[in-house]
Every structure is written in structure tokens, then in C-alpha cells.
């Protein structure tokens, strides 16, 4: 549905039987997420425990809801939280076999249009019951993207007069109504007016503002939002017509411009510096009428324009951690970042793990060792205004891409790189995921080491191992062994054994959170390098780490919170 937040749309399913229908709908809306009842549905994007709580939370968050179940269940679940008409998301019930689409709530946020689209996708007619919608084929109070209704209450009265049979006169351009079966008359009392001019509400008028105005700002001025509002008022232009603020590129990272755009609820774009605000406005919207007002330039176009096509946006670069592999262990902020990404960079295995991706998302898979090159490539893309994601497994700050990305930025004197919106989003690191499966081996002080001597000398690794083992820290080994580094682990264990008893528990987690994961608990004496490969996490206990048998046959490993006083 154009203009709607399809990214966050939730398809809620109660049983495995409706998953096929959910998937068909997801093909039509690739950004929609399938929410499945935990224990009943396999293969959903999110699992939930309570249907009612989930539905209410989604509704309160304004997320469009497609529930694959009886309409009655949805009505009962939402009854307690039903909001004022006007501010609610679309809510629809769809029969689990896809044979019926019933729009329930959200007439003003486009539920009927969405119902028609879903009906089309499923090959059935939507059960539209809204009289205005049936009569006019559109909801007059919900103009298409690019247009904003001036006053909802006013509009409701207008539409009921229209439904009573009065004719209508259209002033200004309303291309979306060209095919609508409206009775028009030049001398009609009721007027549908489309224009940027600010006008007081009138009972006989349905006022719709095209989002066709851009304001070029001088970002050095204080209180930008207020100045823009005042300038628009002085020029007699409705604030609802404002689509875009245009600042100069050097101001890309200025919090004040971003705050102003947020406050005004408009898109923020940037154009090269070195010209006056009027010239900037004129260049951005060729042919628009430009009004200079109080150090700002207001450009009024003849029709709504796509603000995303004006100048350029601030690029974003997010370095994300996928967690060990399982979708449930990926943090929601990372999922949201993946959904908004235009470019995805990373080692091929991790990029594949982060999918599925949409056709419009560009994947740049590279070899695992080309970290700095990948980091620079990511900045080059983000500096063009793109939304870029660099993926790491586990946490991006633990032997992964975040440090490489920061190093690339630190080395660079390209101002465009420094203006990028850089975010590091954490993930569950392999040591933590492995520890959680084993119990709590990292319950007391521990030390994290990479045994790879690709990027540091082996002597440093040996020194650290020696000191950490001597300090009686639990040890977590990343990159314990590989084909190119066959002997290092054996040598590392020799160092550890100098300080630690052979009965010390060792946890070996392989492919944790991935298909075919294994978890083994052995003693330090039993541990052989052959038991370990590069997909294994090695956790070596301290003198206080213990193991006990769990009834299911597994063993729990933990390191107590306390430490015996030194004798
Ligand atoms: N950033 C990653 C670590 C990258 S180093 C993180 O935070 O987890 C790669 C090493 O991590 C591997 O050699 C292995 O020792 C460990 N590792 C990564 N994923 C793992 C998994 N799913 N199970 C066990 N060990 C894993």
C-alpha cells in the first residue's frame, strides 16, 4: 500500500495451516513480518506467546495488522484498546485459506485500499463495507501519498453531505479522483479544494494540501523549525504542504537540522554548499516559484514531488551483529536495520545468514580477510547517501568488522565519510551463546582471546594466555584453530596446563545457534586439538568452575559468583 508503513506490517498467524497464505501475502509485501504462535508455528519471522497481547501491542504501536484468523477473535482482542478513529493502523482479518479478506479498522489509514490489494494477491474480492468507499471507489478522507487532508472532523461532515446526494465542484488538481464516480457541477455548494494556501476550515469545503513545498534553510540559524513555520505562515502557505527541508551538505551531521525536520515531520535532504538558499531551492525544484522569507527560501511546485529524489540524503552505515545464527537470537534493532538496508556487505556466509533479502537490496559479498577494503567500500557507498549494512556474526565488536570500520574512518580525511550516520548494533557473541547453552561457565571473571596469530604475533598470545591462566580467569577462545594454523591450539593448551588442573571443565560449542549445533563438556586433560575446529568456541573453566549432571543427561557447567578467599 503506497504511503503506508509496509516495512512494519505484521502478518499474525495462529497455526501452521495458515503459513502458506501468510507467505503468499509476504510475497506481495516483502517487508511484512510473519508473527507465529510459539510452539504451533514453525518458520515464522517472529514468535509470540500470547495472541491478544501481541495484537494489542502491534495496534498501539501503529503497526498495520493482517490477522489470519476469524474476525471475531481480532475484534475481541482489540476491543479494550480501540482508539479514537483517525489514529489507528489498518487491521484486517484474512481467512486462513486465503478465501476472504475483511477490513476491520483503519478506514482513514487506507485499510480498504490494502484490503483490495490483498484480495488481488489472493484472487478474491475484499469485503468492503464503507459507504463512501463503495460509492466513490475511494476514501475522500484518505488522499493518496503526496496529499494531506487539512481537517478530519470537517472532512467527515463534508463526506456525509456528499453521501446525502449533493454534487461537488473540484478546484485545483486532484488526479486521483479522475476516475471516481463523483457527481460534479460547476455551481455546486460543496467544493473539494486542492492547494497549498492556508485557509480556515469551512463546512462546504474539503481542503486537501498537496505536499509540494520545499524550504531551503540556512542551518546556522537558531530555532529552525519555528522560523520555517513562521515563514510559511507569513507566505500564507499551509504547513501540511511542506514536504522537505533542504540544507547544505556540510550540515549533514548537525543535530539541529535533523531535529527541525523531525519536529516539522518532513524529509531532510542536502545540496552542495556555496550558493544562496534561493539558488539552492531553485536548483532543487526546477520551475518552482521561489519566495525568499526571513533568510529562508520557500519553493512551491505545481504538484507534489518525491522528496527522496531531491538532492541527497544523509548516508547511514550500520555495523551489525547477527548473533550466533538463530533468528531468535538476533536483536530487533538489527532486524530493523537489515530491513532498511540498501546495500549489504560482508563475508558471503554471514550475508547469506542475514537474508532473505529483497530484490532491491544490493549484496556485496567478499572474502573474509578483506576487512579494511570492505570497510572503505562501505563508507564510499554510505557517503553517496545510501543506507549500508556491514554484517558480522555474533557481535560486530568482538574480533569482527566494527573496529575495522572505525579504523577506516579514523584514517580518512574525507568530510563526506565523517558526515555518515554511523551506528554499531550489538549481537550475541559466540562465547555468550555457547556459555548460555552450557549453563553459566562465564559466571565469574573471564578473559576473551583470539588464538589467531594472523593479526598479532604468537608470542603475545602466549604471554596473555600464561598471565590469564595464572590469574585463574575462565578463558574463552575464539578462532581456536584452522587449517592454516594447525599447531597453535596444542601449544596454547600446554601453556594453560602449566597453571590449571587436568580435571578443569572445558566446554566446546560448535555451530551454536546454527543447524547441527553440538555442545560437549570434557576435561582439560581429555581435550585434544582434533576435537576443535574453526567453527568451535572453547571455554576453559577456572579453578572454581563446576559440572553436575542434569536429569536429561546433559551436564550443567557453571562458575560460581563467589571466590574463595586466598590462603
Ligand atoms: N564476532 C564473532 C566472532 C568472530 S571470530 C562473535 O562475536 O561471535 C570467529 C570465531 O568465533 C570462530 O572461529 C569460532 O571460534 C567463534 N564462533 C563464531 N560463531 C560461532 C558459533 N555459532 N558457534 C561456535 N563458535 C562460533
Determine the distance separating the centroid of ligand 1 and the alpha carbon of 478, expressed in angstroms.
6
**What's the rounded Cα separation, in Å, for the pair 68 and 18?**
7
Please report the atom of ligand 1 found closest to the CA of residue 427. Answer: 7
Instruction: Give 200: exposed, middle or buried? Use CB within 10 Å, 0-12, 13-18, 19+.
Output: exposed
C-alpha distances (whole Å) from 59 to each of 13, 145, 408 are: 15, 22, 42
Structural domains in the chain plus CATH codes: 6-129 (3.40.50.11220), 147-210 (no CATH), 213-307 (3.30.420), 316-428 (3.40.1010.10), 431-558 (3.30.950.10)
Q: Is 442 in the pocket of ligand 1 (CB under 6 A)?
A: no
Instruction: Please give the pLDDT value at position 495.
Output: 97
Please report the atom of ligand 1 found closest to the CA of residue 534. Answer: 13
Closest residue by CA, ligand 1 atom 11 = 478
Q: Is 392 in the pocket of ligand 1 (CB under 6 A)?
A: yes
Beta-carbon-side half-sphere exposure of residue 283 (alpha carbons within 13 Å)? 17
Whether 546 contacts 505, CB under 8 Å: yes
| Ligand 1 mutation pick, 326, 441, 478, max ligand atoms within 8 A of CB | 478
**What's the rounded Cα separation, in Å, for the pair 217 and 502?**
70
| Ligand 1 mutation pick, 430, 436, 514, 539, max ligand atoms within 8 A of CB | 430
Whether 467 contacts 437, CB under 8 Å: no
Q: Is 394 in the pocket of ligand 1 (CB under 6 A)?
A: yes
Distance, CA of 259 to chain centre: 20
Please report the atom of ligand 1 found closest to the CA of residue 325. Answer: 22
For residue 461, give the 3-state DSSP assignment.
helix
Instruction: Please give the pLDDT value at position 85.
Output: 54
Please report the atom of ligand 1 found closest to the CA of residue 397. Answer: 1
Instruction: Please give the pLDDT value at position 84.
Output: 61
Tell me whether strands 536-540 and 362-366 are parallel, antiparallel or unpaired: unpaired
Q: Is 514 in the pocket of ligand 1 (CB under 6 A)?
A: yes
Strands (E), 32-173: 33-37, 46-48, 65-68, 91-94, 101-105, 147-149, 168-171
Distance, CA of 91 to chain centre: 21
**What's the rounded Cα separation, in Å, for the pair 385 and 311?**
10
Closest residue by CA, ligand 1 atom 6 = 394
Instruction: Please give the pLDDT value at position 359.
Output: 87
Q: Is 393 in the pocket of ligand 1 (CB under 6 A)?
A: yes
Per-residue pLDDT 10s for the chain (567 aa) are 334 444 479 999 999 999 999 999 998 888 889 999 999 998 888 899 999 999 999 998 889 999 999 999 999 999 988 876 557 899 999 999 999 999 999 888 889 889 999 999 999 999 988 877 777 777 788 888 899 999 888 888 888 888 888 899 999 999 988 888 888 899 999 999 999 999 987 889 999 999 999 999 998 888 999 999 999 999 999 999 999 999 999 999 999 999 999 999 999 999 999 999 999 999 999 999 999 988 899 999 999 999 999 999 999 999 999 999 988 899 999 999 999 999 999 999 999 999 889 889 999 998 767 889 999 999 999 999 999 999 999 999 999 999 999 999 999 999 999 999 999 999 999 999 999 999 999 999 999 999 999 999 999 999 999 999 999 999 999 999 999 999 999 999 999 999 999 999 999 999 999 999 999 999 999 999 999 999 999 999 999 999 999 887 789 999 999 999 875
Where would I find the H helices in 285-400? 332-340, 348-354, 371-383
Amino acid at each position: 500500500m503506497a504511503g503506508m508503513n509496509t516495512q512494519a506490517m505484521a502478518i499474525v498467524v495462529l497455526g501452521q495451516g495458515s503459513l502458506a497464505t501468510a507467505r503468499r501475502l509476504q510475497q506481495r509485501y516483502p517487508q511484512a513480518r510473519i508473527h507465529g504462535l510459539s510452539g504451533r508455528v514453525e518458520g515464522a519471522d517472529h514468535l509470540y506467546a500470547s495472541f491478544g497481547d501481541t495484537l494489542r501491542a502491534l495496534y498501539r504501536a501503529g503497526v498495520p495488522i493482517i490477522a489470519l484468523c476469524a474476525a471475531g477473535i481480532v475484534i475481541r482482542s482489540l476491543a479494550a484498546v480501540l482508539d479514537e478513529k483517525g489514529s489507528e493502523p489498518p487491521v484486517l482479518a484474512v481467512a486462513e485459506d486465503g478465501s476472504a479478506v475483511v477490513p476491520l479498522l483503519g478506514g482513514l489509514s487506507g485499510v480498504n485500499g490494502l484490503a483490495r490489494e490483498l484480495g488481488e494477491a489472493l484472487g478474491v474480492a475484499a469485503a468492503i463495507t464503507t459507504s463512501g468507499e463503495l460509492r466513490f471507489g475511494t476514501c475522500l478522507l484518505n488522499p493518496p501519498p503526496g496529499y494531506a487532508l487539512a481537517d478530519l472532523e470537517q472532512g467527515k461532515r463534508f463526506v456525509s453531505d456528499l453521501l446525502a446526494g449533493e454534487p461537488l465542484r473540484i478546484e485545483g488538481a486532484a488526479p486521483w479522483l479522475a476516475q471516481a464516480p463523483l457527481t460534479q457541477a460547476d455551481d455546486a455548494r460543496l467544493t473539494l479544494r486542492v492547494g497549498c494556501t492556508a485557509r480556515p476550515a469551512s463546512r462546504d469545503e474539503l481542503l486537501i494540501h498537496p505536499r509540494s513545498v520545499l524550504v531551503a534553510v540556512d542551518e546556522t540559524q537558531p530555532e529552525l523549525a519555528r522560523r520555517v513555520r513562521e515563514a510559511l505562515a507569513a507566505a500564507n502557505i499551509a504547513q501540511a504542504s511542506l514536504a522537505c527541508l533542504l540544507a547544505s551538505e556540510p550540515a549533514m551531521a548537525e543535530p539541529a537540522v535533523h531535529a527541525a525536520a523531525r519536529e516539522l515531520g518532513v524529509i531532510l535532504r542536502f545540496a552542495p554548499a556555496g550558493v544562496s538558499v534561493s539558488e539552492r531551492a531553485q536548483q532543487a525544484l526546477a520551475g518552482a516559484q521561489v519566495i525568499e522569507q526571513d533568510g529562508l527560501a520557500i519553493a512551491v511546485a505545481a504538484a507534489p514531488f518525491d522528496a527522496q529524489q531531491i538532492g541527497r540524503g544523509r548516508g547511514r552505515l550500520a555495523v551489525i551483529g547477527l548473533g550466533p545464527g538463530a533468528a531468535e537470537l538476533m536483536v530487533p534493532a538489527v532486524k530493523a536495520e537489515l530491513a532498511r538496508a540498501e546495500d549489504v556487505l560482508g563475508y558471503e556466509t554471514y550475508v547469506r545468514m542475514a537474508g532473505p533479502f529483497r530484490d532491491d537490496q544490493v549484496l556485496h559479498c567478499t572474502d573474509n580477510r578483506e576487512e579494511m577494503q570492505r570497510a572503505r567500500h562501505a563508507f564510499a557507498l554510505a557517503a553517496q547517501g545510501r543506507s549500508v549494512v556491514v554484517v558480522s556474526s555474533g557481535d560486530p565488536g568482538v574480533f569482527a568488522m566494527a573496529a575495522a570500520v572505525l579504523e577506516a574512518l579514523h584514517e580518512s580525511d574525507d568530510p563526506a565519510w565523517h558526515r555518515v550516520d554511523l551506528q554499531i548494533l550489538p549481537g550475541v557473541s559466540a562465547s555468550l551463546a555457547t556459555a548460555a547453552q552450557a549453563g553459566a561457565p562465564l559466571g565469574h571473571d573471564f578473559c576473551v582471546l583470539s588464538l589467531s596469530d594472523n593479526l598479532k604475533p604468537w608470542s603475545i598470545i602466549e604471554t596473555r594466555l600464561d598471565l590469564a591462566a595464572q590469574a585463574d580467569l575462565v578463558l574463552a577462545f575464539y578462532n581456536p584453530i584452522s587449517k592454516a594454523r594447525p599447531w597453535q591450539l596444542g601449544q596454547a593448551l600446554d601453556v594453560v596446563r602449566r597453571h590449571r588442573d587436568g580435571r578443569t571443565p572445558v566446554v566446546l560449542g560448535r555451530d551454536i545457534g546454527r543447524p547441527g549445533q553440538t555442545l560437549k563438556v570434557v576435561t582439560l586433560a581429555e581435550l585434544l586439538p582434533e576435537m576443535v575446529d574453526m567453527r568451535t568456541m572453547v571455554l576453559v573453566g577456572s579453578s572454581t568452575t563446576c559440572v553436575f549432571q542434569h536429569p536429561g543427561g546433559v551436564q550443567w557447567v557453571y562458575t560460581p559468583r563467589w571466590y574463595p578467599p586466598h590462603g
